[in-house]
């Protein structure tokens, strides 16, 4: 199967695909004719996503679920296996931001952040690994953050930065472990991407972009991240693994 051919539909699983970067990822893979499995915690967003892509080049399976639910992860892998017999691309996108400051952050927020941003990507990759091994060109792509690479004062949630730094190392460890089986593992690290995760923080986003984004002081659009993920999932990146690809308009340069 040639993954460069538009007629070669892949089987793709995207966690947290109902809003923000996740929704852009879903749209991008569907546009290439792929079969996409995704999920989110908000029933209204799930319904909107299903309606938006009712007629698409690819096909969409979207459900209400939480990536931290072990039973759901097992059910999802079983369903993909029964319906498709393999998984070509897993995108660990679901993430949360909790708390602010450093020692002021609540331990409950730390646990929730690590559970969603770091433990769940490992667990979902673990349960999907048998299906990835059945793909002719398997890939895992983690959505990290520029905040993982430096203790930027503009990223006020310590637990978020630490969880994403852990995700970067997990990316490299999985690439090392799964590479001999032909499974490539990479990550994309966006800069500031306006989304529901930020809440009502337009002023803060503008300030951060002006201070940190050196490339024409522009924000990063979810579509920019989706393009990078499509590249890493494609045959064009067939020898790329263990890489953290910054899509940050220069956020990490200064």
Return the closest-CA partner of residue 143 out of 235, 72, 246. 246
Half-sphere exposure of 32 (CA within 13 A, CB side): 24
Distances (CA, A) of 98 to 79, 114, 242: 32, 10, 27
Distances (CA, A) of 16 to 104, 132, 156, 208, 211: 28, 19, 23, 25, 29
Instruction: Spot the catalytic one: 155, 160, 189, 213.
Output: 160
Task: Please check whether residue 190 is in contact with residue 146, taking contact to mean a CB–CB distance below 8 angstroms.
Answer: yes
* CB proximity list for 178: less than 8 A, separation 6 or greater: 129, 132, 140, 184, 185
* CB proximity list for 224: less than 8 A, separation 6 or greater: 190, 247
37 carries an active-site annotation = no
Q: How far apart are CA 66 and CA 43, in angstroms?
A: 11
Q: List the catalytic residues.
A: 160
């Amino acid at each position: 199967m040639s993954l460069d051919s538009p007629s070669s539909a892949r089987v793709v699983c995207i966690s947290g695909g109902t809003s923000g970067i996740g929704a852009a990822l879903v749209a991008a893979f569907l546009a290439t004719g792929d079969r996409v499995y995704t999920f989110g915690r908000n029933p209204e967003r799930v319904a909107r996503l299903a309606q938006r892509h009712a007629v698409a080049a690819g096909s969409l399976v979207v459900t209400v679920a939480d990536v931290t639910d072990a039973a759901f992860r097992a059910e999802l892998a079983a369903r993909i296996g029964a319906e498709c017999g393999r998984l070509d691309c897993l995108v660990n996108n679901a993430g949360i931001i909790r708390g602010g400051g450093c020692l002021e952050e609540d331990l409950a927020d730390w646990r929730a952040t690590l559970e969603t941003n770091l433990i769940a990507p490992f667990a979902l990759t673990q349960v999907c690994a048998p299906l990835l091994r059945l793909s002719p060109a398997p890939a895992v792509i983690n959505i990290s953050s520029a905040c993982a690479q430096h203790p930027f004062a503009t990223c006020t949630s310590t637990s978020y930065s630490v969880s994403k730094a852990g995700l970067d190392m997990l990316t490299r460890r999985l690439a090392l472990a799964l590479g001999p089986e032909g499974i490539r593992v990479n990550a994309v690290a966006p800069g500031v991407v306006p989304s529901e995760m930020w809440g009502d923080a337009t002023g803060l986003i503008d300030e951060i972009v002006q201070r940190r984004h050196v490339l024409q002081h522009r924000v990063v659009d979810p579509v920019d991240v989706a393009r990078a993920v499509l590249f890493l999932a494609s045959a064009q990146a067939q020898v790329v693994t263990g890489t953290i690809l910054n899509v940050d308009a220069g956020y990490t340069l200064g």
